[in-house]
Structure 1
Amino acid sequence: MNSHSKQINLLSNRERYIRCVLGIVLTMIFALAGYALNELPGFHYVGPLACAMFLAVLYRQLWGYPEAVRPGVEISAKQLLRGAIVLYGLKLNMDVILHQGLGLLLRDAGIVVFAILLTIGLAKRFKADASLSLLLGIGTGVCGAAAIAAVSPLLKSKDEDTAIGVGLIALVGTVFSILFTVLRPWVPLTDMQYGVWSGSSLHEIAHVALAAAPAGQNALAVALLAKLGRVFLLIPLSFILMYWMKCTGKLRPDAKVAFPWFLIGFIVTSMLGSYVFGKYIAVPSSLMNGLSQATTFMLTMAMVGMGLNVSFKALREKALLPLLVLSVTSIILAGVTFFTV
């Protein structure tokens, strides 16, 4: 490689690095603005996470997606989100939660199957696009946009379907998470029951965190455990889809299933927080409080990254019926899980 090519490569790497930094800074600015908006009368009921996401969605509709800093925004929406979930494990009291884990996992398996079959059935009923509706059913049952992104290569989905699916999940999930937050004081559920309800019915991990956070740390921990059980089920579901596509001769040779390692991180930090810190290793309360605040802020930045993905312009003719199917599925799922908590 000559010196000119090296310079171009160096410039390209430097440009990508700058875009990453600027994108992360952008989500940080929105997060700070969300905290500021949360201080205004009325907004404190929904919290800084919802306020930051609202500002991000509004920005996307008025000025579009900030393509120049997309790499950094995606880091906030994905890597920071997973890092925050890992840190949230420190708040999980395994002594209280562990005996509920198996029950929640079995419950999650039923929810995943129910959501997918219901979405497919409604899609046939309303004559909605089958491919897009299948993606939405998997996203609703498992873990939103992450599930759609994971299975779309397996299903040979069109890029357009994947993009619309992610946008619809982000839109509906955002609306439902904010509704959950607003309704929380009036629903006849304990904080722990509310956490299970949120984790069992909402679409994204970030949406679950947004809805459950106002109910307290224990409710949030249970909600994340319920949701992460659904995330974990993405692995067997993906292998089932791979087997199905292989049997039908449609499997892409380069398709891979990514293991959700942040789930392992969440469990490890939960074990540390429950059985090591405070018992065998003394950790200052100021440090734990600082980690808690940092975790919340990281989640807020992740909300911004997700909010910037919500585009109303993508809701064209093709997306209208799938949006209806997704909305009806989400309402029924929320109702079923509410009455079975």
Structure 2
Amino acid sequence: MLARRKIVAVLPGLGLALGVTAVALGAEALQERLLGARCVDGLVIAILAGTLIHTLMGLAPRFVAGVQFASKTILEIAVVLLGGTISAAALAQSGIELIAAVAVVVLLALTTSYLVGRWLGLDERLATLVACGNSICGNSAIMATAPVIEAPAEDVAASIAFTAALGIVVVLLLPLAFGALGLTQWQYGVVAGLSVYAVPQVLAATGPVGVMSTQVGTLVKLMRVLMLGPVVLFVGLRHGRKGAVRPSFSLLLPWFITGFLLMMAARSLGLLPEATLQPLQAASSQLTLVSMAALGLSVDLRSVLSSGGRVLAAGFISILVLLGLALATALMLQAG
């Protein structure tokens, strides 16, 4: 009975996300019919349409559960399915240089973002939350770090608000860099993996560019996420609060990352035949589109703007630094 009530609760919001998805697909088809090509990808349309609906009309309480389900769980399933399209050989080809580069970029971004936040007048805990969210994996890093440093609720809300806003901006604008900077798909995947906040959002940022970019970007992003445990441990030791709460293991290693790695192992061991490659890619792509519609529906630009100019300024400067580090890393590794 409880499971049935939960299913019923998500239906309105899920239906709304599917409706926005249908609009995005229709806009894609209309572009191809009138212009002969897609000028704006469906992922971008879905995010913009969802954000516009929430900002102008609000989101009724009955839609909240379904929108949260679509923006989180469905997108996590898409990431798991994507793992079935990547073999361990692809990871091995990345080399130790890429793994080391990811670690260096995360540490530099953490340090820079924290110092920027302090320079702009943020207190130590808020600056730490902004730095962790910016440098590792957005909301997940913020939620894992908050109990360790005993961050107040208003600091958590403000840092999550900036993550929601800047995360969407990066997803929308980053694909433009592919053509403007003449990047290869591999280079773009590295840039996206190092700069996009959340693992699922990497799919949205790389999907319009190509399959290779999506695969490389996801692998690089997973390397960043795996640094969450050591970073939270360091922050906890530095903060030195005896009464601080330890984050749960599920926050440090989300289930969908484990699922992604298991699916990648299955592909590498030949347990997933080649015939499943295209269906897995297609399913992952479609689920991502639905989730991006829901992601847009979860963002109210008015609340983001009210979260505080200094927090947004710290996040904006930090993401510019992170993008610069990511681009430099991609260019140096490709050149090497």
Same fold (TM over 0.5): yes
- Residues 1:20 and 2:13 are matched in the alignment: no
Q: Quick one: distance in 1 between partners of 2:261 and 2:95?
A: 11
- Residues 1:232 and 2:222 are matched in the alignment: no
Alpha-carbon distance, 1:22 to partner: 2.3
Match of 1:323 in 2: 312
Match of 1:155 in 2: 149
Q: Quick one: distance in 2 between partners of 1:135 and 1:210?
A: 24
1:306 to 276, 282, 295: 295
The root-mean-square deviation of aligned C-alpha atoms, in Å, is: 2.3
Q: Quick one: distance in 1 between partners of 2:39 and 2:86?
A: 24
Match of 1:44 in 2: 38
Alpha-carbon distance, 1:295 to partner: 1.0
Alpha-carbon distance, 1:55 to partner: 0.8
Q: Percent identity?
A: 23
Match of 1:271 in 2: 265
SS at match of 1:188: coil
Question: Could you tell me which amino acid in structure 1 is paired with residue 59 of structure 2?
Answer: Y
SS at match of 2:207: helix
Conserved in 2, the CA contact under 8 Å of 1:30 and 1:55? yes
What is the aligned length? 324
Conserved in 2, the CA contact under 8 Å of 1:20 and 1:75? yes
Match of 1:53 in 2: 47
2:187 to 188, 193, 217: 193
Q: Quick one: distance in 1 between partners of 2:281 and 2:160?
A: 29
In structure 2, the CA distance between the partners of 1:142 and 1:187, relative to structure 1 (3 Å rule), is same
1:340 to 324, 329, 334: 329
For residues 154-303 of structure 1, the aligned pairs below 5 Å read: 154-245=148-239, 247-252=240-245, 255-258=247-250, 259-277=253-271, 282=273, 285=275, 287-303=276-292
TM-score, normalised by the number of residues in structure 2 = 0.87
Cα deviation 1:21-78 (Å, max 9, x = unaligned): 2222222222222222223437923421111111111111011234223222222222
Match of 2:94 in 1: 100
Conserved in 2, the CA contact under 8 Å of 1:84 and 1:299? yes
1:87 to 74, 81, 85: 81
Moved more, 193-202 or 268-277: 268-277
Match of 1:5 in 2: none
Question: Could you tell me which amino acid in structure 2 is paired with residue 217 of structure 1?
Answer: V
What are the ranges of 5 or more consecutive residues in structure 2 without an aligned counterpart? 331-336
Conserved in 2, the CA contact under 8 Å of 1:91 and 1:217? no
Cα deviation 1:147-200 (Å, max 9, x = unaligned): 212222222222232222222112111112211112312212211111111101
Alpha-carbon distance, 1:14 to partner: 5.0
- Residues 1:32 and 2:22 are matched in the alignment: yes
Moved more, 211-220 or 31-40: 31-40
Conserved in 2, the CA contact under 8 Å of 1:81 and 1:298? yes
TM-score, normalised by the number of residues in structure 1 = 0.86
Conserved in 2, the CA contact under 8 Å of 1:34 and 1:49? yes
Moved more, 321-330 or 290-299: 290-299
SS at match of 2:308: helix
